[in-house]
Chain A
């Protein structure tokens, strides 16, 4: 019986000292924390920057959104930058998209009338990606500008190459809405 008691004591001791060791924090290199849409007036002037930043990824602290004012009757050259600021050094996700350009496409839509975004870049198949765009404003007004990134859309479906999202399918990697003013 002594042996049993000893064994039992050893068992309990082992269990109570069994602290779960520190988990290894995964390297979250796939996360997109930041999107910056920079609009430079084609005729020169100050660039407008719209930014969505969620430094800790989904959950945790709420994201911060900064937006800008656009001028009416202006053409802007738009450039999108995606970043992962969770990892150090900060990772440029735009590069990753360009490597997989056939699998990605950005879509733009606005509630402001006659505000149009058109693609100025192409993937290897000649279909748009949307990292480089042209934004044209006409009338003044207030409303939203939505930017959506689709992963594995059907780029050949009807209307997709001209920026119509409705037949694109695929999975949404990004969906952000900026409230903007055109003056």
Chain B
């Protein structure tokens, strides 16, 4: 009922009554099948962790081990497209194992996100597995999900990246860290979500119409970052990941330890990162180093399989340098910067030093979750969480003030989440719930600068209810949600004398979702989502006011903004004719009434620093539509690949012009060759699961723009070629995974439309990464 193993769906262990006197004569036999198609999985690697004996499943999915001594073992299963799965075995007699493995992505429809029945199975989604997180030790959260179709990134140089799903980001995209809405990241394109991807085991991107359960103003898409439950493993387990990246001389270290005991299950995870200046294809990007130190603790305890208590606490701390040439004074400087071949302050000198402009951000998170099962089919869940986001941004300032932040914000958030789930007969499922979010945002006056975002206090409370029904052919899901938001704002006037001006707002928002999944045949299914959601204007859209350094513009909120309404429809087609091929096509359309966006004004504001263009938050009616395609394929059991294509178009319907800052279309492909059998290097050393991969990412030019919408034209299309070699080196009793990657192999000079640094400098050039991963 509470199994969280998502990939190992089913294990059937049977011991044959044939106890051996000698104890080292035990045989293990087994069969591997694909959970979805029930077809045999051939050429899967299976090995016993303790003895490092390995084998490969045959055409019928059968495998066997002979003459094993009695004792406790861990059997490790791996197959192309599957996450590595472990089974703990207490071996005392001949044993037969029947194992069903689930392939990711190809079997999206049946992937369990949170428990067995969560009503999310009808929603369109993609996810990133732990293996991909581990193989990308050098990346941040947003970069890890970048290659998924429908996902893109807004960047500010190389260190700051935030995800964009179907063209929506920030206030319109909810990021759930551990089930709780991540605070602090909503406004500001130069704020990345302060989450360590290494604390997660899975990152899911819901691309459907409306995730009714979560609230938080999401208009369709949600990014879920989740650690898995601690497996019921009596032994101490852990892993160490280390990666060195040549571009930026970056060092990444991550370690994880966990153990289950009946008294308490625990896991601890820590990450350290340090990067120096990165390099574009032609010059150093000075002052783009970064540092990060994170730690998280997870504790789990259960009573009689009825009452469950989970505790989670984490701290994320980072320092990020911003390219020096990106700091400009006024429009003249900006125009001058556009014309330069190399950014200002470029030096042919590498350094780990981080000077102003820079950001220091800490995010502390703590959560307690309690779940109680009345009966097997009825449970209640209560979560309380607190978050503290401390953000300081430093500018190059006069009079020795560069070490005084120009922006200093402290945001405290308290979340509560109450959820009741009941299963009825005939596969009906009911969920009702309430969420509260209390936010207290305070500017520290140490800055000596008028704050861009005012001090505020807000309270959001929401209730939802959803019903789902499962039949042999179809899954249905219907949900409704209502939210109330109270904003209590204290702004400081920008006229002399400065005074405090208060605003009190309240908003009512409603949302509705209908989702259906129909199995057309055993290999084909359709998912249709339609959802309506409302989002009230956020604090920054209402009250921001002031100069936004780096884009050389004055941004002004509008206190008269109305609530934004969105209607999204998605239709997804899934086709998996065999375990060797899958196709996934998704079309979506979202209509917005009163879409809030930053519009360049005709007015040029005169200040002592020169003239600045003015951007104001305005509203229009808009639409975003697009297509996500992804396919996986496999030949000869050893060659496999994937293709992903994203197409998106945004239009301002009132003004009959394109929506600005929408992701460009992209195409990603990879092809890998895997050596099926372990390679013996010497008596003691073996190479297992040796894999060679070529990948390529092509980003089209954003042509859906008119010249007056930007300071400079959108950058040209670009192509990034990557290579990867990975293998498990087995030496005596130890197994180490080894990854070598090359990104932007051709050292292509490029700029990306959604990277703010594109006005000033090229994006990063070639980079080599060497990573090792050791698990025990």
Contact = CB atoms under 8 A, between A and B. Distances in A.
Interface string A4-41: 00000000000110111111111111101101000000
A74 to B, nearest CB: 28
B398 A30 contact: yes
A66 to B, nearest CB: 14
Interface in A25-71: 25-30, 32-33, 35, 52, 54-63
A50 B333 CA distance: 24
A172 B607 contact: no
A182 to B, nearest CB: 24
Contacts of A19: 457, 488
A20 B607 contact: no
A20 B455 contact: yes
Contacts of A170: 329, 344
B450 A23 contact: no
A27 B445 contact: yes
B328 A30 contact: no
B609 A63 contact: no
A16 B546 CA distance: 30
B546 A169 contact: no
A173 B448 contact: no
Contacts of B454: 23
A171 B328 contact: yes
A143 to B, nearest CB: 18
Given A58-B554, A152-B396, A18 B332 contact: no
A58 to B, nearest CB: 5
- Could you tell me the dominant secondary structure of chain B's interface residues? mixed
- Residue of B398, B493, B500 contacting most chain A CB atoms (<10 Å): B398
Given A15-B438, A60-B495, A172 B608 contact: no
Contact of B609 (A15, A18, A58): A58
B29 interface: no
Contact of B500 (A22, A33, A172, A176): A22
A28 B446 CA distance: 10
Contacts of A99: 399
A96 B399 contact: yes
A59 B546 contact: yes
Contact of A18 (B329, B443, B488, B611): B488
Given A26-B447, A59-B494, A96-B399, A151 B329 contact: yes
B488 A171 contact: no
B459 interface: yes
Contacts of B488: 18-20
Given A33-B608, A60-B493, A176-B608, A23 B498 contact: no
B577 interface: no
Contacts of A52: 608
A166 B18 CA distance: 90
Nearest to B334: A172
Contacts, number: 136
Nearest to B461: A15
B445 A35 contact: no
A100 B400 CA distance: 9
B398 A175 contact: no
Contact of B455 (A23, A35, A100): A23
B444 to A, nearest CB: 9
B457 A30 contact: no
Nearest to B610: A175
Interface in B432-487: 438, 440, 442-443, 445-451, 454-457, 459, 486
B455 A56 contact: no
Contacts of B329: 151, 170-173, 175
B606 interface: yes
A60 B495 CA distance: 5
A176 B498 CA distance: 25
Interface string B70-103: 0000000000000000000000000000000000
Contacts of B498: 25
A69 B411 CA distance: 54
Interface string A147-183: 0000110000000000000000111111110000000
B492 interface: yes
Nearest to B408: A26
Given A172-B333, A175-B610, A30 B493 contact: no
A30 to B, nearest CB: 6
A32 B397 CA distance: 12
A30 B398 CA distance: 7
A59 B545 CA distance: 8
B608 A23 contact: no
B330 interface: yes
A86 interface: yes
Contacts of A23: 442-443, 445, 451, 454-455, 490, 492, 500
Interface string B636-663: 0000000000000000000000000000
B774 to A, nearest CB: 47
Contacts of B332: 172, 175
A19 B455 CA distance: 11
A20 B494 contact: no
B459 A59 contact: no
B676 interface: no
Contacts of B232: none
Nearest to B345: A169
- Residue of B344, B445, B500, B607 contacting most chain A CB atoms (<10 Å): B607
Contacts of B500: 22-23, 25
Contacts of B545: 59
A173 B327 CA distance: 12
A30 B449 contact: yes
A58 B608 CA distance: 8
B399 A35 contact: no
Interface string B228-249: 0000000000000000000000
B253 interface: no
Contacts of B608: 32-33, 35, 52, 54, 58, 63, 174-176
A59 B554 contact: yes
Contact of A86 (B398, B496, B607): B496
B401 interface: yes
B282 interface: no
Contacts of A28: 448-450
B445 A24 contact: yes
A15 B456 contact: no
B489 interface: yes
Contacts of A175: 329-330, 332, 608-611
Interface string B651-691: 00000000000000000000000000000000000000000
A136 to B, nearest CB: 26
A28 B396 CA distance: 16
Contacts of A60: 493-496
A100 B398 CA distance: 8
Given A22-B490, A25-B445, A151-B398, A55 B496 contact: yes
B547 interface: yes
A30 B448 contact: yes
B733 interface: no
Nearest to A19: B488
A40 B773 CA distance: 74
A86 B440 CA distance: 29
Contacts of B493: 60
Given A169-B344, A171-B327, A57 B401 contact: no
9 contacts: A23-B455, A25-B492, A54-B607, A59-B494, A59-B546, A60-B496, A172-B328, A175-B608, A176-B610
Interface of B: 327-330, 332-333, 344-345, 396-401, 438, 440, 442-443, 445-451, 454-457, 459, 486, 488-490, 492-496, 498, 500, 502, 545-547, 554, 605-611
Closest 10 CB pairs of A and B: A172-B329, A175-B610, A56-B496, A60-B494, A60-B495, A171-B329, A26-B445, A24-B445, A59-B494, A20-B457
Given A56-B494, A59-B554, 15 more contacts: A18-B459, A22-B500, A23-B442, A23-B443, A23-B445, A23-B454, A23-B500, A26-B443, A60-B493, A62-B606, A96-B399, A151-B329, A172-B333, A174-B608, A176-B608
